Amino acid sequence: MATDLLARMPTTRALLEELGLQYMIMAGHTPAAAESCLAEVPAWQQVDAEVLTSYAVAYAGYWTRMSRQPAPEGVPHLRPYQRHAATAALAWVRHRADTISPVTRAGWPGRRDLRATRCWPVRPAS
C-alpha cells in the first residue's frame, strides 16, 4: 500500500501545484474552503483521499524542515515565507486528519476490530 501511494505522489504533486490548493490556504482560505472550491474539478475528484492526505503530510514536513534551516545570506524573506507555507500545510494536515482521514472511513484497508485481539482489554458488561 505504501509503495502504491508513493507511486501516485508525483502525479498528485503536479495536480495540486496546478490547482493551487496550498496557495489558497496560504492566502487565508481555510483548508475546508480550499478543498470545497476544488470539489467540482474532475481531476480533484479522481485523487484518492489517502493520496491527498499523504501529500499534505509530506508537504507540511518539507516546508517545516526548510523553514528551520539557517537563513541564507541576501534572502531575508525566504524563511518567513517557508514558515508561512509550513503553517498553512499543517492546517491542511489537521483538516484532513479531523474530517477526511481514511482511518475514519468505513472499509478502510487494514482496519480490524481490536476488541478481537488479546491486547484489547475486555471488560464484562455491568
Instruction: Give the helix/strand (H/E) hosting 60.
Output: helix 49-67
- What is the rounded CA–CA span in Å between residue 113 and residue 100? 20
What is the per-residue DSSP string for 62-94? HHHHHHTSPPPTT-TTHHHHHHHHHHHHHHHHH
Query: Tens-of-pLDDT digits for all 126 residues of the chain?
Result: 444 544 555 566 777 777 788 889 999 999 999 999 888 888 888 888 888 888 899 999 999 999 999 999 999 999 999 999 999 999 999 999 887 644 544 444 444 444 444 444 444 555
CB-based contacts of 104-109 (< 8 A; 24+ apart in sequence): 105/49, 109/1
